[in-house]
Amino acid sequence: MKLPIVILFVGALTLSQAALADKVWVANPNTAINNWISGMYANIGGPLATELQNCKVAAAAVCTVTIQANGGVHTSATDPAQHFTVQFAGTTHAFGACHIYPQNPAIPPGDKALTGANCYNPPNPPTYYKLN
């Protein structure tokens, strides 16, 4: 009669693993950069914070946020402004990705103030969020 208990346990474990997405962290080899980006992510406010919170409490299949700290704060071919990237995945999310702009990107990691974010949902133009 141990089999039903094992099945219940495995079922409960599966549900707990699939329940909440929260976020995925793609780390940078530099701990100071990770801490800097983590602090800036925590400072995201307003409507974009609401989008992130909605994703955090959704099931992983519905919405997952991936913080791309591995690239640090950088420019890209599509965005000449210094930023770090947050990507969205799942069946329900407002954007594919957001570029988050630090207020002082040139200083050594430490200042966690933000200016804004451009969030992308191709083929639509980006949506800008003021974050300061």
Q: Supply the mean pLDDT for the chain.
A: 85
Q: How confident is the model at residue 132 (pLDDT cuts 50, 70, 90)?
A: confident
* pLDDT reading at 57 higher than 80: yes
- Nearest CA-CA partner of 72 in 113, 29, 130, 120: 29
* pLDDT reading at 55 higher than 60: yes
Give the model confidence (pLDDT) of 14-28 as tens digits: 333 445 567 899 999
Tokens of 12: 């409960």
Whose structure tokens read 């991936």?
Answer: 66
CA-CA distance, 9 to 14, in Å (whole number)? 9
Percent of the chain whose predicted confidence (pLDDT) is above 70? 84
The domain locations on the chain are 20-130
State the pLDDT at residue 20: 59
This prediction's pTM: 0.82
CA-CA distance, 3 to 115, in Å (whole number)? 56
State the pLDDT at residue 94: 85
